[in-house]
Amino acid sequence: MADDDNALDLWRFDESGLQLHPYFKIAIIISVLIGIAVTSYLIVKMDEPYSAFYIFPESINYSAADNMVSFAYGIFSHENGVTKYTLDIYAGDKLERTRQYEINRGESARYHEIVPIPVNDLLPLKISLQLRSDRGDTEETHFWLQNSSST
């Protein structure tokens, strides 16, 4: 059988010049369409879940006289379904408080805390918030109390 008669030849030469075999043209078009379909599906359906966890800096208020710090923080859930969170609040190395929350997907919540500062801890002191989701993810955010009244 001659090379130009073989149906599986990638390139064919005819009177209009060198041409890609029609079967390969169809295969390329189908491959591109499948690639576009799979990519579109992954972009739309495979939305990666996450949580956003943050402190509102303007809310931080430290009272040296009372040895207390107050602040507000927020949690935004973009997880799938309802997510259970556990929050640990540390003043230095000491665990001061543990909170538990349940937040639906797409919801955000703002919370306010007043935390005692251990008397024997010297400034600057790190106030750390560690958030764990029931899916095992952990996020941490913190701020520092300075020697002056500002934070």
Domain residue limits at 25: 3-45
Which has the higher per-residue pLDDT, 11 or 137? Answer: 137
Same domain, 72 and 122: yes
What is the Cα gyration radius of the chain? 30
pLDDT at residue 13, as a whole number: 65
pLDDT, tens digit, 9 for 90 and up, residues 26-44: 888 999 999 999 998 887 7
Q: What is the dihedral of CA 8, 12, 18, 20, to 10 degrees?
A: -30
13 occurs within a structural domain:
yes
CB 74 within 8 A of CB 107: no
pLDDT tens track for 47-64 = 778 899 999 999 999 988
Q: What is the number of structural domains in the chain?
A: 2
For residue 122, give the 3-state DSSP assignment.
coil
117 and 140 in a single domain? The answer is yes
Whether residue 70 is found in the same domain as residue 141: yes
Residue 150 located in a structural domain: no
pLDDT in tens, 53-93: 999 999 999 988 889 999 999 999 998 899 999 999 999 99
Instruction: Please determine, for residue 151, whether its predicted confidence score (pLDDT) is greater than 60.
Output: no
Contact 117, 93 (CB under 8 A): no
Dump pLDDT digits (tens) for 95-140: 999 999 999 999 999 999 999 998 777 889 999 999 999 989 999 9
For residues 92 and 119, the answer to whether their CB atoms sit within 8 Å is no
pTM of the entire structure? 0.67
